[in-house]
Structure 1
């Protein structure tokens, strides 16, 4: 489909096969519904692993589990009171710094967005950041403050010292269930607030040294990328998109963002189990968009390995349904036997 093509609805004619073979085709992103499509903040990058890592990614075991509640927000620190410790990552629109509050010694992640932006773009960024600041859940990375320093936007985020789960392999089903439970709890909270994440993937799931897992996102960078180029995306992100989001001819052109999050979540959990991308190690890499999109849209959904428990195989199947209406919502997945039979207390005495 060409950039800017409106998704088809029932009764409309499809795009001709000849048009689909044009070499200049690019993947359009779905129209964002401002009522529900609210991206989340940029996470710090994965922390370097100190364990020997096989080619499929390092294997990690269950850490000590501790449940915490988000404390009520206090007055955010002023920008002048934040000392930059070191750069911890860069995104498509800015740099992330580990910063320390001079008065308290508390560490944060500070996202600095590059460049000056048009008023309309700036207003959109500030609106969405303000919504993010109201999110108060122990399974969602906290956005503490936003600073507009001489036209440069800076966002103060909760710092997760374990980095992201990208490239990790989780061999313990109880720990995998614990990770899934925490992410589902965060998704259930967001979905209740009519917030669709739209970019669930391993790099946007962060962990700390206490085993707490939280949802984060390259949100503001994606706002800027879409504003500057509506067709801008990355293979890494497309890899976790649901079939109906990639091919708008599916599901009669309708896109349910909540069900889309569940597909991305299920694919991420299966990737942790396998230690590799579920559609194949190399598919979609090096710009091979065609094979990636065809696999997602037309191949059978990936399945959990036969060696996994019956509960886990069922759990993954409930997430990776081609028909979005058949995917269980987050609140129902929290009641699945894979989650309820692997209670957090089972992992409380085991360290990675």
Structure 2
């Protein structure tokens, strides 16, 4: 499934004139040490590409290793030109801050971030199991998708609950492509590019963004003049869609050619048709999430107490004391020994402004000759 965020978000977000390419405000030079000698800041030159992990609307994701330690990470390289053209620079700063501030076992965390004249770089946890989406068809064929949905759904629930309650973040981008599987079979929620900070649980948003099949009715209605917007309940709706897709292999409201008008009409009509193999507890929790009126949807606590999750010990799950049911389905990849290649930025006369506060390393000064991770 593709994402319509880059198309729909633009209806409510216009580039700021300050995002024009300028040569001022380049990244500041590294601060001097006490002896007056400056240490170099971390940069893309400190990493080598092992392989490509994917491509998105704003850049690429790579598996990389740090030269000084050979430790491996996932690196997202984002083109400033595309961000600034779409007025998304502040949104990238939001993603960086969510990655950095969260301390949760089921959320991807930030290891480093830095920028060059042309790109932003996020260096994050590497989840070698890949995207959850690649497992769904297999689990469905094996007839274990509902049992796995309880486990995966429970971990995703804890992650989303943490985002809303602790970080005051509305996620807005739940889908199997954004759920990564670790080597131990547990998951991590990734990609916070559409995350929205809120100050009050009653706060409303009007920006239409997300993945088409996961849009809650009130997000679609935000396209209509005079509509008051949507709130944090959209993540509960998306959670119901997510459970349905894990179990069935596709979301409940879709179209073979992904016709936007047809899909949005189906969402607004909200007539869920369950395949015969859905158990009653699976249908019930999904229908509770997919209430057209946001106020009728359950809270995270109510979802945790639903019979669908009756077999889940939430404390044991949070502490990863539960063996993942998809562990044995993670492909035993034979890592092909390839010569890591350097990250190269092509020469250009275009220099884009620095994104303030984007740089991060565990230590404010990074010694490239150290054995730091």
One fold, TM greater than 0.5?
A: yes
* Paired position in structure 2 for 1:337: 307
* Paired position in structure 1 for 2:148: 175
Give the counterpart of 2:235 among 261, 268, 271.
261
Question: Contact (CA 8 Å) 2:171, 2:194: kept in 1 or not?
Answer: no
Q: Determine which structure has more spread, i.e. the larger CA radius of gyration.
A: 2
Q: Deviation of residue 341 (structure 1)?
A: 2.4
Cα offsets for 1:271-303 (capped at 9, x unmatched): 111112322451x52xx2111110111242x25
Question: Contact (CA 8 Å) 1:85, 1:98: kept in 2 or not?
Answer: yes
Q: Deviation of residue 233 (structure 1)?
A: 6.2
Report the aligned-residue RMSD. 3.4
Q: How does 1:224-303 map to 2 (within 5 A)?
A: 237-248=211-222, 253-280=227-254, 282=256, 285=258, 288-300=259-271, 302-303=272-273
Taking a change above 3 Å as real, the CA distance of residues 146 and 164 of structure 1, as seen in their structure-2 partners, is same
* Paired position in structure 1 for 2:110: 143
Q: Deviation of residue 82 (structure 1)?
A: 1.6
Q: How does 1:33-182 map to 2 (within 5 A)?
A: 79-116=44-81, 122=89, 125-126=92-93, 128-166=95-133, 168-169=136-137, 170=139, 171-172=143-144, 173-182=146-155
Distance 1:128 1:148 in 2: 14
User: Mean Cα displacement is larger for which, 169-178 or 197-206?
Assistant: 169-178
Question: Contact (CA 8 Å) 2:75, 2:121: kept in 1 or not?
Answer: yes
Question: Contact (CA 8 Å) 2:185, 2:324: kept in 1 or not?
Answer: no
Describe the SS at the equivalent of 1:96.
strand
Q: Deviation of residue 306 (structure 1)?
A: 4.0
TM-score (norm 2): 0.63
Q: Mind listing any 5+ residue stretches in structure 2 that lack a counterpart?
A: 1-6, 14-40, 197-205, 330-373
Taking a change above 3 Å as real, the CA distance of residues 131 and 271 of structure 1, as seen in their structure-2 partners, is closer
Give the counterpart of 2:158 among 182, 185, 200.
185
Describe the SS at the equivalent of 2:219.
helix
Q: How many residues align?
A: 270
Describe the SS at the equivalent of 2:114.
strand
TM-score (norm 1): 0.67
Question: Contact (CA 8 Å) 1:304, 1:316: kept in 2 or not?
Answer: no
The question of 1:321 aligning with 2:291 is answered yes
Taking a change above 3 Å as real, the CA distance of residues 349 and 101 of structure 1, as seen in their structure-2 partners, is closer
Q: Deviation of residue 196 (structure 1)?
A: 0.4
Q: Mind listing any 5+ residue stretches in structure 1 that lack a counterpart?
A: 1-25, 33-75, 223-229
Distance 1:316 1:221 in 2: 23
* Paired position in structure 2 for 1:12: none
Q: Deviation of residue 347 (structure 1)?
A: 5.7
Distance 1:315 1:322 in 2: 14
